[in-house]
Structure 1
Amino acid sequence: MTITNESGGRQNAFANEPRIEVINSRPSSYKRFQLLALLGAIALISIIGIYLVI
C-alpha cells in the first residue's frame, strides 16, 4: 500500500492496483466462421423465400 501525507497531517492509503492484462482479439478463423455462418443463413432464408413465392 502507498501512504501519502496530506496537509493538516492526514494520511491517505491507496491500494496497489492489479496489473492490466491485454486480451488479444479473436483469431481470424473465428471471424471467417462467423461470416460463413451468416452467408449460409442468408442463403437458406433466400431459398425458403423463393420456394414460398413460386
Structure 2
Amino acid sequence: MYTTINEEGILNNYATEPEMYYAAYPSPEQQRRYTLLGAVAVVFVTALVLVALGVS
C-alpha cells in the first residue's frame, strides 16, 4: 500500500494496482459452451415468462 502525507498531516492511502494483461480469445470449446449456456438461459427465461403469463 502506498501512503502519502500532506502538509496538514492527513494520510492518503492508495491501493497497489494489479498488473494489467490482455484477455485471450476463447477457444472453440469455450465458444460452444457459451452458446449452450446462452440457449439454456433463453429456454429458462421463456419458461419463466410463460409460467408468469399462465398464473396471471
Q: TM-score, normalised by structure 2?
A: 0.50
What residue in structure 2 maps to residue 37 of structure 1? 37
Q: Which runs of 5+ in 2 are unaligned?
A: 1-23
Structure 1 outlier segments of 4+, above 6 Å: none
What residue in structure 2 maps to residue 47 of structure 1? 47
Bigger CA radius of gyration? 1
* CA-CA distance at 1:45 after TM superposition: 0.2
Paired with 1:53 and 1:33, the residues of 2 have a C-alpha distance of 30
What residue in structure 2 maps to residue 17 of structure 1? none
Q: Which runs of 5+ in 1 are unaligned?
A: 1-23
Q: TM-score, normalised by structure 1?
A: 0.52
Identity %: 10
Please give the root-mean-square deviation of Cα atoms over the aligned residues, in Å.
Answer: 1.9
